[in-house]
Amino acid sequence: MKKGIETSSLYPLFSELTRLETELWDALDSTLRKEHGLPMSRFEPMAVVDRLGSCRVFDVASALAITVGGTSKLIDRIEKAGHCRRRNNPADRRSSLVELTADGRNLLERARRTVEAELDLRLSPVLTEQTTDDLMELLGRLRNAGRSAAAAERGS
């Protein structure tokens, strides 16, 4: 294996990352549902739409690394709740553009403060600004390596 790491040491790392993600997701989901009636599964796409502005379902799916079909169903639920709307895409009549409604933006802003407070409670005792920056950079590199490996696998 490259860079001297033993294959047998990678699964425990994967397991720890997975458990951490699950624990954080569950804690945030519980708090958001209790305080805002908003599950994480809706918070995440709403945050992407807010960050990207008016965008396609495909753009949200790409940002979240999930399927377009699953994302479309999530957007349907968010739209039914009155937190986003779809409008015709003037650049491509086959797709629509998703944007948050005023109610959706207000809910997202309140929910964001809740998420930040919960993450601060759980992560700040361990992370400094520098370790956070380093971890973000490392996770980005790991995700890029995974994408490259998947692309190479598809090409062979």
Q: Sorting pLDDT into bands at 50, 70 and 90, what band is 151?
A: confident
**What torsion, rounded to 10 degrees, do the Cα atoms 32, 34, 35, 37 define?**
70
Domain that holds residue 4: 1-37
pLDDT digits (tens, 9 = 90+) for 28-52: 999 999 999 999 999 999 999 999 9
Same domain, 15 and 25: yes
What are 12's two structure tokens? 């425990």
As a whole number, the mean pLDDT across the chain is 94
Q: How many domains does the chain have?
A: 3
Question: Would 119 be classed as within a structural domain?
Answer: no
pLDDT attached to residue 2? 55
Question: Is 117 within a domain?
Answer: no
